[in-house]
Amino acid sequence: MDRNLALELVRCTEASALAAARWMGRGDARQGDAAAFEAMRRALSSVKVRARIGLGRPCATGEEPLAEGSLVGTEDSGPILELAVDPLEGLDSVATGHANAMAVIVANADHSFPHVSGLYLDKIAVGPEAAGKIDLDATPLENLVNVAAAKRCYVEDLTVSILDRERHTDLVRRVRETGARIQLIPDGDLASVLASAVGDSGVDVVMGVGSAQAGVLSAAALACVGGDMQCRYVSMRPADDERIQALTGGQVRRKLGLADLVGDGSVMFVATGVTAGDILTGVRFRKGGAHTHSVVMRKRSGTIRFIQAQHSFDRKPRY
C-alpha cells in the first residue's frame, strides 16, 4: 500500500473533523453528522486512488453519501483498495461537547471487511503489552489478573473502559469486584481501544458490547500496533439473527480475532480528533483557521505518526 496514501487520507479525516467540530455542543447530532459526511465525501473524491467503500453507515439524516459499494477517488484503473469509514465516530459526543469524537478511515486490500453495519459485538481489547493474554470466555477477574501480570502491575492499577449502558450493569459490578478502576464512557468505544493501543493513556482494557463497525475500526488500529481483541456477535434484535448466522457460517458463538475483522494483509488506520480526547486533542479554531491533530498507523511498518496541522481558511475550503 502506497505510503503516500496516508497523507491523502489524513486530508479527508481532517476535512470531516473540521466540519463536524463546528457543531460541537450545539445539541444537533444530525447536522454535525451530515456536515462530516459531506466534507469526507468531497475530500475522498479528490484523492488519487481507486477505492471502494467496503464498510460504512448511513448518515444520521438517513442519507448515504458514502454508501457501501460506492467507488471513490480520481483513478479509473489499477487495483482497488477497500475503505472502512466513519466520518464522525461519536456523533453524540459532538452534540454534547463530550470527549473522544473523531473522524476515521481504514484502508485495506479489497474484500477485507465483513459487512457488519448495524450489528453489535461483545469484545475485550488490549494493547501490545497484554496481547495473547485475554479470553472472551474467561471471567473479568481472570482476564484482569492475566493483563496485570503481563503489564507487571496489580489489578488495582488497571483501568477498564466500558460504555455507560444499562446492558453493562452486571459487567461493571463484576469489574468493580476485582478492584480495578473503571472509566465509564458515554459514547465511542473506538477511542478507548485506540487509547489502550497507543502511548501511556491510562486505559488498559476495553470491555463490553458496542457497534460492530467500531469493532472493525478498532481491530484495524490494534492490528497496526500488535494489540489484541477477541469478540463475538451479539443479536440485539430478531433481524440480526439471520445476518449473524451468515457471517459466522452458523457458528454464532465463535470467537473472532483481528484477522476475522480486517484480514491478514496490510492495513492503514487514519483518524483526526474532533473533540479533545485521550489520544487526539481535537479541533481548535483560531482567527482565520484551525489546528487539527491526527494519527496514522500502518501495519506493514508498525509506525505510528502523529500529525499536527494548521489550516488557513482563506487558502482552503471552509468546511
Tell me the per-residue pLDDT of 124-168, one tens digit each, with 9 for 90 and over.
999 999 999 999 999 999 999 999 999 999 999 999 999 999 999
> Count of CB atoms within 10 A of residue 297's CB?
25
Residue 114 confidence (pLDDT): 94
- The string of pLDDT tens digits covering residues 221-255 is 999 999 999 999 999 999 999 999 999 999 999 99
Phi, psi of 244 (to 5 degrees): -65, -40
pLDDT band of 220, cuts 50, 70, 90: very high
Query: What percentage of the chain reaches a pLDDT higher than 70?
Result: 97
Residue 196 confidence (pLDDT): 92
For the cut 90, the answer to whether the pLDDT of residue 266 exceeds it is no
Instruction: Please state, in angstroms and as integers, the Cα–Cα distance from residue 306 to each residue in 39, 226, 272, following that order.
Output: 22, 18, 10
Residue 316 confidence (pLDDT): 67
**pTM for the model:** 0.94
> Count of CB atoms within 10 A of residue 266's CB?
16
Which is higher by pLDDT, 65 or 265? 65
For the cut 60, the answer to whether the pLDDT of residue 197 exceeds it is yes
Query: What percentage of the chain reaches a pLDDT higher than 90?
Result: 87
Residue 79 confidence (pLDDT): 85
DSSP result, the chain:
--TTHHHHHHHHHHHHHHHHHTTTTSS-HHHHHHHHHHHHHHHHTTSSS-EEEEE----TTS--TT-TT-EESS-SSSPPEEEEEEEEETHHHHHHT-S--EEEEEEEETT-S---TT-EEEEEEE-GGGTT---TTS-HHHHHHHHHHHHTS-GGG-EEEEE--GGGHHHHHHHHHHT-EEEEESS-HHHHHHHHHSSS-S--EEEEEEEHHHHHHHHHHHHHHT-EEEEEEE-SSHHHHHHHHHHHTT-TT--B-HHHHH-SS--EEEEEESS--SS----EEETTEEEEEEEEEETTT--EEEEEEEEETTTS---
For the cut 50, the answer to whether the pLDDT of residue 319 exceeds it is no
- The string of pLDDT tens digits covering residues 275-314 is 999 899 999 999 999 999 999 999 988 999 999 999 999 8
For the cut 90, the answer to whether the pLDDT of residue 108 exceeds it is yes
For the cut 90, the answer to whether the pLDDT of residue 4 exceeds it is no
Mean pLDDT taken over the chain: 94
Residue 31 confidence (pLDDT): 97
For the segment 51-66, the average pLDDT, to the nearest whole number, is 94
For the segment 101-112, the average pLDDT, to the nearest whole number, is 94
Domains and their CATH numbers in the chain: 5-111+266-312 (3.30.540.10), 120-262 (3.40.190.90)
